[in-house]
Amino acid sequence: MLESMARDVLVDLGERSYTIDIGLSLLANAGSTCSGLGLSGKCLIVSDSDVGERYGENLHTALSAAGIDARFVAVPSGENSKSHEQLLALYHAALEHGLDRSSFVVALGGGVVGDLAGYLAATYLRGIRYIQIPTTIVSMVDSAVGGKTGINMPEGKNLIGAFWQPHAVIADLETLATLPDREYRSGLAEVVKYGVIADAELFDRLEIQAADVLARDPGLLEEIVARSCEIKADVVRDDEREGGLRAILNYGHTVGHAIEKVASYGTFLHGEAIAVGMVFAAEVSARRVGLQAESVKRIRALLAAFGLPGTATGCAWSAVRETIRVDKKSVASNPRFVLAESIGRAQFGCEVEEKLLEEIWNGLGK
Ligand SMILES: NC(=O)c1ccc[n+]([C@@H]2O[C@H](COP(=O)([O-])OP(=O)(O)OC[C@H]3O[C@@H](n4cnc5c(N)ncnc54)[C@H](O)[C@@H]3O)[C@@H](O)[C@H]2O)c1
Ligand SMILES: [Zn+2]
């Protein structure tokens, strides 16, 4: 029986601790899961048009069966919905449904829905509880865990937000069956990232079982999602508000974010851009912190096996460099890099001289 599979990962944050449930058929049981967590009364299910159409009714039925008075709202799918316009519409929906301080929000979807609905929960009546039900690889292994919520501004991504931890995360692996192939592969970039920064064994496993990963083998998915969540949970536990260690999760992201922007958002999916960023960081690591040439090769090969790019032809270094300069995470405009000493071990806050950065960028496709 499929139902026998399930695994829990604890995000240990004192009184803000919560569990990530990972397994199959979890959506259908979400009502009893919520009841078990002491969640009852009214809730607002926030989803997007694509995910809502597929799983909204299922979830609504499950919550209703547990006596929860759930109202369903869907925003258009896509990054543009992480906006103050959509947020305002959600506040109205929450008020109209009569959500009070004992009510809760459920985010059903990828990172867009999770960030938006999480921020709704963080700010509605000065903060109410919420549950994350992630349906993409990115959201299962990254955005649903750690409590970063927020919306975009015309001036840039994620500029308005709050740290607000969910009450629980329910990752039903069955939902991944309908995730478009490109989104799925893009999400795997984050899993590769966890291998590079913290877990050589995870990396080996992805290499050996790349074909099964791409075939979305449920048992294997459970393993790799759980391991990724454990790594993120450990980092978040030690540095909830990104004072230091949490920066390690940005491996490949300094350059990756810039590529997304320079190529104009949407050309590269996030995971595709950070795949290039990870190859770049691996090359820098080889020159600066002793990452072996063989390991650089393995990182390139694994990303390629997942159909992810290793170069961003068409993005000039000058444009990428300028974009990094204005990035909110740069320290006094000086980019700091996360570099890997070996697969499974990384350090953050590394400064790298300009000439080397440019040289490596220009050599990426060669
Ligand atoms: N809060 C954090 O810590 C954090 C971390 C990483 C990323 N993010 C944010 O997450 C967002 C990206 O998240 P994402 O990659 O999940 O994108 P997404 O939420 O846009 O989902 C990708 C696409 O897949 C569709 N989809 C989602 N689940 C599906 C399913 N099971 N079946 C069919 N279609 C499905 C969606 O409708 C959407 O079109 C960005 O806004 C990013 O800033 C936040
Ligand atoms: Zn990322």
The string of pLDDT tens digits covering residues 161-203 is 999 999 999 999 999 999 999 999 999 999 999 999 999 999 9
Query: Cα separation of 88 and 244, whole Å?
Result: 33
Within the chain, strands assigned E span 6-11, 18-23, 42-48, 69-75, 104-109, 129-134, 148-153, 156-163, 168-172, 337-342, 345-350
The residue length of the chain stands at 366
For residue 95, what pLDDT is reported?
98
Residue nearest atom 27 of ligand 1, based on CA coordinates: 110
For residue 173, what pLDDT is reported?
97
User: Average pLDDT over the chain, rounded to whole?
Assistant: 94
For residue 242, what pLDDT is reported?
80
Percent of the chain with pLDDT over 70: 97
The CA-atom distances, in angstroms, between 23 and each of 146, 173, 215 are: 19, 6, 17
Q: Which residue has the tokens 């540095």?
A: 239
- Site to substitute for ligand 1 among 26, 46, 47, 51, most atoms within 8 A of C-beta: 51
With 0-12 CB in 10 A as exposed, 13-18 as middle and 19+ as buried, what is 38? exposed
Q: What's the pLDDT tens digit per position in 123-132? A: 999 999 999 9
Cα of 78 from ligand 1 centre, angstroms: 8
List, for the chain, all residue ranges whose pLDDT scores fall below the cut of 50.
Answer: 1-4
